[in-house]
Amino acid sequence: MAMTENGIEGGHVLIKCLEQAGIKHVFGLSGGAALPIFDALVATGTDMEFILVRHEQGAAHMADGYARATGKPACVLVTSGPGATNTLTGIMTAHMDSVPMIVVSGQQVTWMLGKDAFQEADIFGVTMPIVKHSYLVKETADIPRIVREAVHIATSGRPGPVLIDVPKNVSQGPFLGSMEPELDLPGYHVPELTDRESIHAIAEAFGNARRPVLLIGHGALISGAHEAVRTLAEKLHAPVTTTLLGKGAFPETHPLSLGMLGMHGTAYANKAVMECDLIMSVGSRFDDRIVGEPSKFCLNATKIHIDIDEGEIGKMIRPDLHCVADARVALEELIKHVGRLETEEWLATLQGYKQRYPLKYRKQGGLKMQHVIDELYHLTGGRAIVSSDVGQHQMWAAQFYLTDHPDNWLSSGGAGSMGFGFPAAIGAQFGRPDDLVAAIVGDGGFQMTMAELATACVHKLPIKVIVLNNHYLGMVRQWQELFYDERESGVDLEGNPDFAKLAQAFGALGLNLRRPGDVRKVLTKALEHQDGPVVINAEVEKADNVYPMIPSGQPLETMIVDRPRTKLAKPVGST
């Protein structure tokens, strides 16, 4: 490691500490204030792999996708000012979805802070609402403790992003401290299952239920509770629905699965929630996309909430019973105290709903997003890691690409970040290099981060990028059609590039897909190509709508299962 006159440089210590903490990959873009840290990536001979991105937002989304696919954090390394602020969307995305991430930003020298120096930004203050914790490193001697604490905070309890802002005089200054510091985290603790009485009360409530529903969220995946979820569901003989981010926590091909619930969830999942007499949320925060109108949610049901974050209890829905604990630990304890329920009549009712309200689409006419996704599912046997952007394609991917395995579904839930899907897929491919990774993206979102094709091509990542190109911001257009008298504003993406030619310009394989009869052939060619990324430009129908649909802010009972024939009232809330 490089030495100053008085000791090892701080930047070199930082890289060494990240490596010792188990970080394997660093995604980033260099710049002046971070130069001592970037120099350390070479000078220290670290085994960590650095991936140069083309935009800092891409770096944050890559680290996010890496963490979701592997369960382990990656590092984002950027410079000060605009380099740091360009990560904000990615940091917010990770924060909203509880994804562990370490963001290291270079910063102006300490004596220039607050003086509007070149490329200075108060990234500590700017990110405060969207990180789990943040540090401004003022002393080189503090680096080992801060790195160790940052990784612990990011990965324990309810995970999240942690920022480490490093002034340049700290990263290039001498280090004379200890490489084996003690953590100093007063007041920070991870909830343990100490209240077993709440588990006994929950078990007793199940004993009285005849129409139960298990609602499984992202927290169950984070805790590794997927096996416990399946064991509990099969022991109770109870149906299971998942949130958008909970896909994979319970096999969606399982007979007890109802698929995803909520605004664009399956009709039968929403029907089950409307008619249940008990609902237990595990690792789901009862967000607005699944609750609709909180005052009318599950009025006649016993509501139970298990979550590791006490702040989520009662925030949206006031539960009758709750337990603050890790999802896996709580479920493993609950399994000991429950038995099979009398649910045969309930399951028969739900099976009837499945037959009456199946997910469907017409193959006649032009190329449809659902057709492409459905064919991809069958060609891959559902084994792919699927990453999506936000919008219509996201909802159809959630509906038609069934997920049986944990950590195989990556999507921006709480933030709804366009541009997430492609870089997240890159991160997932770095984390799981032997697995098939497919990015299902819209033409709008893809254009926000498509410069990362350079990153994917340089590393010859065999990612399959399926651009479902309807030349629209489709979900917004759908809302304008249904609730704004078809007045389209700001949704026509006139001027889209030829995505196949664009891919070829970067060095990727570019394919066009326009006819329904060519879907299998084009997808098969893409799946067989292993020498770098493939981009499929799928020219789909422009004006198709996603159903089922529950208008924002409305109770589940207002669910629309097909195109309405009458004018709808303008909903409350965003798309």
Q: How is residue 403 annotated by DSSP?
A: -
Determine if the peptide bond prior to 100 is cis (ω within 30°).
no
The b-or-e profile of 243-280 (16+ CB within 10 A means b, else e) is bbbbbbbbbbeeebbbbbbbbbbbbbbbbbbbbbbbbb
In contact, 109 and 140? CB cutoff 8 Å:
no
Dihedral sign (CA 292, 293, 296, 302): positive
Q: What are phi and psi of 408, to 5 degrees?
A: -105, 0
d(CA 248, CA 402): 8
Choice among 24, 112, 119, 293 that is catalytic:
119
Q: Is 452 exposed, middle or buried (0-12, 13-18, 19+ CB in 10 A)?
A: buried
Closest CA to 350 of 519, 499, 213: 213
Which secondary structure element, helix H or strand E, spans residue 392, and what is its range? helix 392-400
What sign does the CA torsion over 132, 444, 76, 19 have?
Answer: positive
| CA contacts within 13 A on the Cβ side of 160 | 17
- Choose among 90, 80, 102, 99: nearest CA to 29: 80
β-sheet bridge partners, residue 472: 492
> Quick check: is 124 catalytic?
no
> Of 414, 402, 160, which is closest to residue 289 (Cα–Cα)?
414
In this structure, the chain runs to a length of: 575
Which one is catalytic: 16, 27, 56, 450?
Answer: 56
CA distance linking residue 141 with residue 176, whole number of Å: 6
| Helical ranges in 108-249 per DSSP H | 123-127, 143-155, 168-171, 196-207, 218-222, 226-236
Give phi and psi for 568, each to the nearest 5.
Answer: -100, 150
Angle at 504 between CA 502 and CA 510, to 5 degrees: 85
The two three-digit tokens of residue 237, written as one number: 């003989």
The whole-angstrom separation of Cα 315 and Cα 324 is 14
* Cα-to-chain-centroid distance, residue 263: 17
Pick the catalytic residue from 16, 168, 247, 464. Answer: 168
Strand 278-282's sheet: what is its strand order? 257-260, 240-242, 212-216, 278-282, 302-307, 321-324
The two tokens of residue 162 are 């942690």
Q: Is 119 a catalytic residue?
A: yes
Number of helical (H) and strand (E) elements in the chain, helices listed first: 23, 20
280 Cα distance to chain centroid: 22
- Known catalytic residue: 56? yes
* Residue 101 bears catalytic tag: no
Interior/surface letters 95-129, b for 16+ CB within 10 angstroms, e for the rest: bbbbbbbbbbbbbbbeeebeeeeebbbebbebbee
Query: CA 8, CA 343: separation in Å to the nearest integer?
Result: 66
Q: State both tokens at 430.
A: 């770095």
Cα gap 459→506, rounded to integer Å: 12
CA–CA distance, 38 with 3 (Å, rounded to integer): 15
Active-site pick, 3, 118, 179, 363? 118
Q: Which residues are catalytic?
A: 56, 118-119, 168, 475
